Amino acid sequence: MFYSSTPILALGAISLLASAGHAEANRREPQIHNSRRQAPAGFVEVPLAELQMLQSEYSTFHGWMTAYLSSANSTDPQTAQLNQDVLAYDMWINIFLSKYANSTNAPAAALTPAAAATPAASSTAAAPYAVVANSSTNGSFSAQSSSNLAVYYGQSPATDQFTLEQMCQDQNVDIVVLAFLTTFFGPAGQPVINFGPATGGTPTLGAQKINATGLLDCPYLAKNITTCQSLGKKVLLSLGGAAGVTNFTSDAQATSFATDLWNLFGGGMTNSDLRPFGSVKVDGFDVDNEDHSTKYYDTFVSSLRNTYAGDKSKQYYISGAPQCPRPDASIPLGSMQTMDFVFVQFYNNAAAGCDIGQPGFVDSFKAWSSDLSGNGTVAGGGPKLYIGAPACEACAGKGYLEPANMTSVIKSAMMAGVKNFGGVMLWDGSEAKNNTGVEGDYLQVVKSALD
């Protein structure tokens, strides 16, 4: 009977670290015939035999855990936490193996535990993006720029192929939005976070004390956030999503929740053991309310903005992600006018005629620009307007455009005379990196069109 997942994961971690250690040692030895795997630029070389040994050991571990999880009580909290740990471990093992193996003779990919039932990998998957060495100069973010590229990260099938750090090391990316904080008031009245394959395992120490099982400990993501920020990229935490439970019952509740977010992820109470990212602070929050209720959101957004005054050490931002039909059914216009960025979802709204590629897109884009402009509470007179678009055909029901057509749409928006244009938002970054063609991946296509 298992009481904690830590010993189990420790066994796998030892195997992984041992192989990584061997890789570093062998890098200093001369190459012998073809026994070594050719590694991408920036990676160490790893002997094929050691990759196969790691795969074999992991397969045994994986089979053991799959059998146990299949027979365990799925409603038991400890089993649920163990399942999350195994999912997280799966991701890192697969990333490690795929980095050091080529596509023709790599060890078989590890399988996801049956009990987890996670989505299959993207059919457009390519080799993981190689880490860029000494890339601290590729941050190009400016809040007032009209060529920023924002990407969501955490929920797509391709997330397990790219770490958050790798996403930020891409010179085309300026803002990364973590998706999602899905529930405002979950177990013990605390938020629930779910970043898909990038999610941490067990709840934080403080969350365990009060049984707040949705506040997961994410030290690896925290480390990656720090790297992103050191590269000049901004990391926002998105609140909601299509399946989010994000409603308020009163102004008082909305104000209190804004303070809670600040204490859990922003500049407040950074020593709290409840915090999923420890003392690491995100750069702001993204409001992606999609529950078709705007009640108390004006209070929430203004209260969240007010909390920012509690930390003068850095600039914090607020963004919103409305649908393109106006007015948005879930985020009040008054709230959006006080934000820094608005990522309008110009997709999955074909019936309204405002999706990218539709005849009504440019008119809708101009109307959104007019709606958002002229607010003196935000630097520059109002929020920057972004074109929200899907990064692959499977990323949305309607609205995906092939690279050439997407370039045309961006250029048409840039020629529309909109002064508050900020750039493009893509759902999502991992799928964009996998969507490759003769002009590079989708991130490169979009960024090139913006420049």
Q: Name the burial class of residue 38, with classes exposed (0-12), middle (13-18) and buried (19+) by CB atoms within 10 angstroms of its CB.
A: exposed
Which of these, 305, 297, 317, 318, lies nearest to 253 by C-alpha position? Answer: 297
CB 117 within 8 A of CB 80: no
Helix axes 403-414, 442-450, angle to 10 degrees: 20
What would the two tokens of residue 272 be? 């709290």
The yes-or-no answer on residue 290 being catalytic is: yes
Which of these, 35, 59, 57, lies nearest to 46 by C-alpha position? Answer: 35
Which of these, 344, 445, 329, 319, lies nearest to 399 by C-alpha position? Answer: 344
Catalytic residue among 290, 393, 402, 431: 290
CB atoms under 10 Å from CB of 338, counted, come to: 18
Helix axes 297-307, 251-265, angle to 10 degrees: 40
> How far is residue 436's CA from residue 424's CA, in Å, rounded to a whole number?
18
CB within 8 A of 162, min separation 6: which ones? 128, 129, 429, 430, 433
What would the two tokens of residue 365 be? 């884009």
Which of these, 388, 398, 284, lies nearest to 343 by C-alpha position? Answer: 388
b/e code 80-89 from CB counts within 10 Å (16+ = b): bbbbbbbbbb
* C-alpha of 45 from chain center: 29
Work out the angle at residue 194's Cα, subtended by the Cα atoms of residues 328 and 324, and round it to the nearest 5 degrees: 15
What would the two tokens of residue 283 be? 């750069």
The catalytic site residues sit at 290
